[in-house]
Amino acid sequence: MAPDKSEDTPQPRADGEPPKLSFEQALQRLEQIVDEIEQGQVPLEESIDRYAEGIALVKQCRTILRKAEEKVQLLAKGEDGQLTPAGDLEEPPEP
Q: Architecture of domain 11-77 in CATH?
A: Orthogonal Bundle (1.10)
Cα distances from 5 to residues 9, 11, 53, 65, 80, in angstroms, run 7, 11, 16, 24, 45
Distance CA 5, CA 29 (A): 9
18: left (phi over 0), alpha (psi -120 to 50) or beta: beta
Whether residue 58 contacts residue 47, with contact meaning beta carbons closer than 8 Å, is answered with: no
Please state the rounded mean pLDDT for residues 15-25: 79
pLDDT at 12: 53
Q: Dump pLDDT digits (tens) for 6-17.
A: 445 455 555 556
Whether residue 44 contacts residue 85, with contact meaning beta carbons closer than 8 Å, is answered with: no
pLDDT at 7: 46
Q: Dump pLDDT digits (tens) for 24-83.
A: 999 999 999 999 999 998 999 999 999 999 999 999 999 999 999 888 877 756 667 666
pLDDT at 3: 43
